[in-house]
């Protein structure tokens, strides 16, 4: 080591080495300061950067920006023209008259998002599988992605197939598939039935994932999410199987139980996924707008009748739990150290602003409404999911940018 230091000193000089070390120390301190920065007291979600489209040599945080009204180039597709639109998300079809929610474009502060090009994406997916895995919010993003490419494919060259928890959209000319797999908690649970999953006593097997994960093994692009179904103070955990009567049950508090499940998920990825073949993404939590007092309006209200976005930069609702974000960051950070990169796509902050983007009462009602509900529409307003075209299209524009960046 001493001989090596002498060679370095002889080549560059002691003063140059000192300056280099000082510069390195300053750089490390700056990175640490950025990482620890907090936004309005909230933990900042991974501030990933991507090459700027305006200045190719620069890096840009795509998640920091604002919504810009753009009725010339948006929406990216028409609701009624999407062959496979979901009735849960088709707000115009179910009576919404104010359609301004369709015309907003996400604009990062320091660069532009690349324009979504369906043909380029389909070519990228030729002979490949893009699989969305998660809950109904991830299913909404999958519907958005299908709608984004739908008009570029002739009717005879596309298909949709349902097989239990797996739904597959195929672009036949490209031999490309865009799929959704229902796994709202990622690991195995008693809520895994894609239709009958609303159970009063939710049970999760935090160490069991193979039942689901075997369907994703050969995917080329994986997009995960999981948060909505964890929103409770505790979860009943099962060690054993649902078929056996000798399993051990224990109530585990949040967010510990969430972390246990994510650790199982991450361990499976490390062992079973080839990071040189498969691109992986994790969508951050999608916010809800169930309490209007949070954005300065009267109490007892929600997203019902909202027609404008929130303009206060940094607005953060109470239902978006920063502790959950920290856990996801920690799990993904540990995975990265083990050679597996899962990119966090931060949809939380940008979606927080869009209180008017939810279906509210403008969606198919799966059960008949009561007279009490009809007299008080806000009581059955859906302030969790999103109208399409709308906010999930921006999520897919971000995903598109990262697919091509990598």
Which residues lie below 8 Å from residue 380, measured CB to CB, with a gap of 6+?
A: 361, 365, 369, 373
| Cβ atoms of 310 and 66 closer than 8 Å | no
Torsion angle (degrees, nearest 10) of CA 250, 251, 256, 257: 70
Return per-residue pLDDT of the chain as tens, 406 residues: 444 444 434 444 434 444 444 455 544 444 444 333 333 333 333 445 555 444 444 578 999 999 999 999 999 999 999 999 999 999 999 999 999 999 999 999 999 999 999 999 999 999 999 999 999 999 999 999 999 999 999 999 999 999 999 999 999 999 999 999 999 999 999 999 999 888 888 999 999 999 999 999 999 999 999 999 999 999 999 998 888 888 899 999 999 999 999 999 999 999 999 999 999 999 999 999 999 999 999 888 999 999 999 999 999 999 999 999 999 999 999 999 999 999 999 999 999 999 999 999 999 998 899 999 999 999 999 999 999 999 999 999 999 999 998 6
Does an H or E element contain 31, and which? Answer: helix 14-36
| Cβ atoms of 136 and 184 closer than 8 Å | yes
Task: List alpha helices for 58-170, DSSP H.
Answer: 118-124, 136-150
| Two tokens, residue 30 | 């700056």
| Two tokens, residue 305 | 């009748």
- Which DSSP letter does residue 370 get? P
Does an H or E element contain 6, and which? Answer: helix 2-12
| Cβ atoms of 226 and 184 closer than 8 Å | yes
- pLDDT in the model for residue 48: 56
- Which DSSP letter does residue 228 get? G
- pLDDT in the model for residue 6: 43
Positions marked catalytic: 136, 382, 385
Phi first, then psi, for residue 363 (nearest 5°) are -160, 170
| Cβ atoms of 93 and 80 closer than 8 Å | yes
Paired with 51 in beta bridges are 59
Q: For Cα atoms 334, 337, 342, give the angle at the middle one, nearest 5 degrees.
A: 70
- pLDDT in the model for residue 33: 42
Q: How far apart are CA 221 and CA 279, in angstroms?
A: 5
- pLDDT in the model for residue 38: 37
- pLDDT in the model for residue 31: 43
Distance from CA of residue 213 to its chain's centroid?
A: 18
Alpha-carbon distances of 75 from 51, 69, 78, 87, 164, rounded to whole Å: 25, 11, 7, 18, 32
Q: How far apart are CA 88 and CA 387, in angstroms?
A: 8
**Three-state SS string across 151-188, please?**
CCCCHHHEEEEEECCEEEEEECCCCEEEEEEECCCCCE
Alpha-carbon distances of 240 from 207, 245, 263, rounded to whole Å: 9, 9, 18
> Which of 359, 348, 344, 345 lies closest to 390, judged by CA?
359
> Which of 188, 346, 336 lies closest to 266, judged by CA?
336
Q: How far apart are CA 130 and CA 169, in angstroms?
A: 10
- Which DSSP letter does residue 230 get? G
């Amino acid at each position: 080591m001493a001989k090596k230091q002498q060679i370095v000193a002889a080549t560059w000089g002691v003063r140059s080495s000192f300056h280099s070390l000082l510069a390195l120390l300053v750089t490390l301190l700056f990175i640490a300061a950025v990482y620890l920065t907090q936004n309005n007291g909230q933990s900042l979600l991974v501030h990933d950067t991507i090459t700027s489209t305006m200045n190719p040599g620069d890096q840009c945080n795509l998640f920091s920006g604002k919504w810009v009204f753009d009725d010339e180039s948006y929406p990216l597709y028409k609701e009624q023209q999407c062959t496979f639109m979901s009735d849960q998300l088709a707000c115009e079809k179910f009576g919404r008259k104010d359609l301004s929610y369709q015309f907003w474009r996400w604009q990062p502060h320091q660069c532009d998002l690349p324009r979504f090009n369906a043909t380029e994406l389909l070519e990228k997916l030729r002979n490949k599988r893009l699989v969305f895995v998660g809950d109904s919010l991830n299913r909404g993003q999958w519907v958005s992605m299908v709608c984004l490419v739908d008009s570029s494919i002739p009717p005879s060259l596309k298909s949709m197939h349902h097989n239990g928890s797996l739904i597959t959209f195929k672009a036949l000319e490209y031999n490309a598939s865009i799929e959704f797999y229902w796994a709202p908690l990622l690991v195995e649970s008693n809520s895994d039935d894609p239709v009958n999953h609303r159970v009063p006593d939710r049970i999760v097997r935090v160490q069991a994932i193979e039942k689901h994960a075997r369907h994703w093994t050969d995917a080329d692009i994986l997009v995960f999410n999981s948060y909505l179904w964890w929103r409770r103070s505790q979860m009943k955990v099962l060690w054993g199987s649902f078929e056996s009567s000798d399993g051990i049950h224990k109530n585990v508090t949040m967010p510990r139980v969430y972390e246990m499940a994510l650790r199982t998920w991450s361990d499976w990825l490390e062992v079973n996924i080839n990071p040189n073949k498969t691109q992986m993404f994790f969508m951050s939590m999608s916010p809800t707008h169930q309490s209007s007092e949070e954005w300065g309006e009267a109490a007892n209200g929600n997203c019902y009748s909202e027609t404008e976005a929130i303009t206060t930069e940094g607005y953060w609702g109470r239902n978006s739990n920063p502790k959950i974000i920290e856990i996801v960051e920690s799990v993904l950070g540990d995975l990265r150290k083990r050679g597996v990169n899962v990119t966090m796509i931060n949809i939380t902050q940008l979606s927080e602003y869009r209180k008017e983007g939810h279906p509210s009462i403008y969606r198919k009602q799966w059960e008949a409404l009561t007279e009490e509900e009809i007299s008080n529409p806000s009581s059955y307003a859906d302030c969790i999911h999103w109208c399409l075209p709308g906010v999930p299209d921006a999520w897919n524009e971000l995903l598109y940018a990262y697919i091509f960046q990598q």
